[in-house]
Structure 1
Amino acid sequence: MNSQEPNFNVTEWIASQHCKAMDNKPIEIYVFIDPLCHDCWSIEPVIKRLQIEYGKYISFKHVLGAKLSALNKMKNVRVESSPANLQPSFKPEGRRSSESPVSTPYNASIAIKAAGLQGRRAGIRFLRKVQEMLFIEKMNISDLDILYECAKGAKLDTAEFVRDFASASAAKAFQCDLKITSEMEVAELPTLVFFNHNIEEEGIKISGYYSYEIYKHILEEMLGGLPEPAEPPEVEEFMKIFRLASSSEISSIYKMSHQDVEREMKKLVLRQLVQKISGTKDTYWKIID
């Protein structure tokens, strides 16, 4: 499968995309992730906080990568679906499995790119829903019914999602991501690459998962000083925007103790706005639709 036309040049493509993103914001961050990678999910609170505090200055572009072993398994894989059989066939007794999730991110990755064809925000909502299903609900996100449920949960046009999932466009978009990952020599996931408005300058690549302060320091260097961070919205509004959050990230963003977070979130539970989900390492709060 060709990821793009034969003369496709990744460097030129990045430059063209970069120019579009730089119209209003001086910094663009490429976020290289594998949807099955726990560290790639763990970095989401960092992305959210950067978005809240410095969203006036930065934009984000998620690029899907995969570890070499997973990519090798994908070489001869094709999407085992069509618009007809992607329709949900509910099997509640089989939806939660004791088996480990699939080792290849192919179906999930194609689905994420299909969701992104409905817009960048739609793609990010879908990505976060997929990660929620995998890491909290322990679902097999290679299952097409689960992906369909993710599309519904992310408020996508499900008919359009079904068509795009089975189309060449989503597959080509994913192959393009893999090509960018390769040519930018991204060997570890997650990786964040910071670009400024001068596309002739190289980006600053941060491989792996670090504390928020590290990424903020990079932003300070690239902006030549750190602007005053924006105040976060009210916690209720924050939950409506992001729909799922851990106690730890709420504590970090709002500079609250875990006891204060628990107290604040219980108010929203009593108002039936959120529900509490107990995890192995943290407590999560999810908006109630």
Structure 2
Amino acid sequence: MDNKNSNPLLCDIETGMCEMPAGKEKDSVSGMTQSTQKPVKVIYYTDPICSSCWGIEPQLRKLKLEYGNSIEIEYRMGGLLPDWSYNSGGISKPSDVAHHWDEVSVYYDMPIDGDVWLEDPLNSSYPPSIAFKAAQMQDHEKAILFLREIREMVFLQKKNIAKWEHLETAAKVLGLNAEQLKTDYEGKAKELFQEDLKLGKELGVRGFPTMFFVDEKGNKEFVYGSKPYSFYEVAILKLAPTASKSEYKKSWEDLFAKHQTLTAKEFSELSGMPRTESEQLLNELTEKGSLTKVVTKNGSLWKHVK
């Protein structure tokens, strides 16, 4: 993909990095403070429409289950797509992304329907990023669920999450105060988003996903792009060698009690069940009425019926 560098949405599948046009790596960690009671702080730079970030959801969910007692993850927004004018004179356009997202879906084995870029393309990733900061102002845990919800909207439901109507719907689904979210979205959340962008530049964030692992002494490890689970585990253990891996229940009932929705890849990663068997089980549970299945042209997502 020759125009990859001029279009941050055309991610490098092999490195798993959605790279910003002018990003440069630095070794600076100014502003990266370890302010948690847990041994390791993780600063996670991401973006709501970063396809590679969607690709690491299985690893990230497993990391929280196994090392949640040792790490605290701080979500930061990186601003992947300011608008389309940054590439004035280039050939990149929203429709270029459609086929790429379909390719990414196959590569990461995570459902993504690239047709949103043909049917209702986003003009920027800033609105959903600012909405996430507004959600954080209300409730950090619900904000993470909000991010998941809007990602499912854009990747599976082909919804343009730059539009307020979809952000409002996601907020209501998760029990956030939609009116307060709108107020913060139009005010303070914009400042918080700019602070994320500023820190990202100081840290040398050049693309997404980027994770900085830091201990109380300021020692650091970095993981750039989409990597296998072991890379994230090694980063933690280098900084906290005594960190113990928590055991968790891996039955489908327990996993869906923790996560409202799971893809077959996520279920396989979390349960330890082979990928093919995982999808077979999820389909059987759907037939029994225990789960509902959201089908896209590039894979499915399952929801627990409560």
Q: State the TM bucket, normalised to the shorter chain.
A: 0.7 to 0.9
The C-alpha deviation readout for 1:10-52, integer Å capped at 9, x for no partner, is 935x42xx32xx22x1111111012111011111221110001
Q: Residue 47 of structure 2 corresponds to which residue in structure 1?
A: 34
**The one of 225, 248, 255 aligned to 2:272:** 255
Provide the TM-score with structure 2 as the length reference.
Answer: 0.74
**The one of 155, 158, 162 aligned to 1:135:** 155
Gaps of 5+ in 1: 1-9, 74-95
Q: Residue 203 of structure 1 corresponds to which residue in structure 2?
A: 220
Find the aligned partners of 1:288 and 1:160 in 2 and give their Cα distance.
30
**The one of 176, 201, 219 aligned to 1:156:** 176
**The one of 193, 199, 217 aligned to 1:174:** 193
2:170 maps to amino acid? C
CA contact (8 A) 1:115 1:122 kept: yes
Find the aligned partners of 1:226 and 1:26 in 2 and give their Cα distance.
8
Aligned residues: 249
Provide the TM-score with structure 1 as the length reference.
Answer: 0.78
Distance 1:262 1:43, change over 3 A: closer
The C-alpha deviation readout for 1:245-284, integer Å capped at 9, x for no partner, is 1101111211112343234324543554421123444332
Query: Over aligned residues, Cα RMSD in angstroms?
Result: 2.4
Q: Residue 117 of structure 1 corresponds to which residue in structure 2?
A: 137
Distance 1:285 1:224, change over 3 A: same
1:237 partnered with 2:245: no
Distance 1:68 1:26, change over 3 A: same
CA contact (8 A) 1:236 1:268 kept: no
Distance 1:162 1:240, change over 3 A: farther
Find the aligned partners of 1:152 and 1:223 in 2 and give their Cα distance.
39
CA contact (8 A) 1:248 1:282 kept: no
Specify which structure has the bigger relative contact order, considering alpha-carbon pairs within 8 angstroms and separated by 6 or more residues.
2
Find the aligned partners of 2:81 and 2:160 in 1 and give their Cα distance.
21
Q: Residue 295 of structure 2 corresponds to which residue in structure 1?
A: 278
Structure 1 vs Structure 2: percent identity of aligned residues? 27
Q: Residue 58 of structure 1 corresponds to which residue in structure 2?
A: 71
Q: Residue 186 of structure 1 corresponds to which residue in structure 2?
A: 205
**The one of 29, 46, 49 aligned to 2:59:** 46
Find the aligned partners of 2:219 and 2:239 in 1 and give their Cα distance.
11
Find the aligned partners of 1:202 and 1:35 in 2 and give their Cα distance.
29
CA contact (8 A) 2:53 2:208 kept: yes
The C-alpha deviation readout for 1:58-114, integer Å capped at 9, x for no partner, is 1111100023764975xxxxxxxxxxxxxxxxxxxxxx8842531411111111111
Gaps of 5+ in 2: 1-28, 87-115
CA contact (8 A) 1:29 1:58 kept: yes
* SS, match of residue 265 in structure 2: helix
CA contact (8 A) 1:49 1:253 kept: yes
Find the aligned partners of 2:236 and 2:117 in 1 and give their Cα distance.
42
